[in-house]
Amino acid sequence: MRRFRTAILANFLLWTGFFGCAHDYVTGKSAYNWFKLDDDVKLGKQVLGAQLQAFEKKKVPVDESGDKAMLQRLQTIVNRISKVSHLPDLPYEVHLADAPVVNAWAAPGGKIMVYSGLWDPKKGLVNQESDDEIAAVLAHEISHVTARHVTESLTKNMTIMLAGQVAASAITAGASAQGGNLFGQFFSAGYNIYAPSYSRKNEYEADRIGLFYMAKAGYDPRAAVALWKRAAQKRSDATSIFASHPASGARAKDLEGYLPQALEIYQDPQKPYPEFRKLSEKGKGKAQAVKASPESRPASSAPADKPPAPAKTDL
């Protein structure tokens, strides 16, 4: 029996090692992710559908006609940022929920939800009149999408689950089949809203990548630092975008280390992105720049809905 279990576990580890390697579109490194990019898109649709159903039951208004101008503004910002991201061809779309929740999220594949509580006069932390501050939030969320943090997390959780079962039947069930069930872990039971739990490394990585995305798209990256500093001065509830670890003050301090580089790109979008594999590492520091692509051009020369393409990186 011991030999039998050992053989099953060995086959499991071989299977996960073979099928778990994927390409990290941002850093260029190998990533442990069972999901294909098409799976991200499908799972994102499932998440959005589940959230919209929950909102309908609770009578939470989404994309109301009175918010059309704001919704269009959000979509324009998303379009500009996504087009300078590492995955510009994903079907990005943004929705606006009229709820007193200081949050926004992006599901895999580019489905984004923004809550009006972000700019609530009393509890909110974003200046509704500032495209730069809104862009800071959206760039952070889009970075979670391009770094594929959710499906990487699902893969890790599925690995633990399958290793615990040590059963061939569980292994052959497949990543996509199990993924839908595992998505339940990302919904807050108390608030019934999509709330993925990112690791400290994920959050820092999304902060740093988002800083450069917003700068390349023509939004002032200093707004991101200001936003996290403001968040550090206020208390946030459990559903707040600012409630996750690491602490807001630490995040602001970390971003300050990358701000000089981001400002260079903001002032001259022809400059290349830094080497993003260094941005994913723990700790702050100046990342090495790579050669600019001849395709890159200043954001100021592009229409609002057509920002410059990202400089190709030597990843």
Same-domain status, 140 and 155 = no
Same-domain status, 169 and 262 = no
Residues 10-59 have pLDDT tens digits of: 444 444 444 556 778 898 887 788 889 999 999 999 999 999 999 999 99
Say how many C-beta atoms besides its own lie within 10 A of residue 159's C-beta. Answer: 16
CA gap 142, 111 in Å, rounded: 9
171 in a structural domain: yes
250 in a structural domain: yes
134 in a structural domain: yes
Domain interval for residue 53:
39-148+194-269+281-286
Same-domain status, 63 and 176 = no
Q: Which residues of 32-47 are buried (b: 16+ CB within 10 A; e: fewer)?
A: ebbbebebbbbbbebb
Active-site position among 56, 93, 133, 141: 141
| Catalytic residue list contains 141 | yes
**How many independent structural domains does the chain possess?**
2
Same-domain status, 9 and 93 = no
CA gap 110, 199 in Å, rounded: 20
Residue 243 has pLDDT above 80, yes or no: no
**C-beta of residue 292 within 8 angstroms of C-beta of residue 310:** no
297 in a structural domain: no
125 in a structural domain: yes
Same-domain status, 10 and 93 = no
Amino acid at 238: A
pLDDT confidence of 263, banded at 50, 70, 90? very high
Same-domain status, 238 and 251 = yes
Q: Crossing angle of helices 200-216/222-232, nearest 10°?
A: 140
Q: Are strands 30-32 and 111-115 parallel, antiparallel or unpaired?
A: unpaired
311 in a structural domain: no
189 in a structural domain: no
Residues 203-223 have pLDDT tens digits of: 999 999 999 999 999 999 999
Same-domain status, 48 and 134 = yes
222 in a structural domain: yes
Same-domain status, 19 and 124 = no
Same-domain status, 214 and 109 = yes
Same-domain status, 123 and 83 = yes
Residues 79-129 have pLDDT tens digits of: 999 999 999 999 999 999 999 999 999 999 999 999 999 999 988 999 999
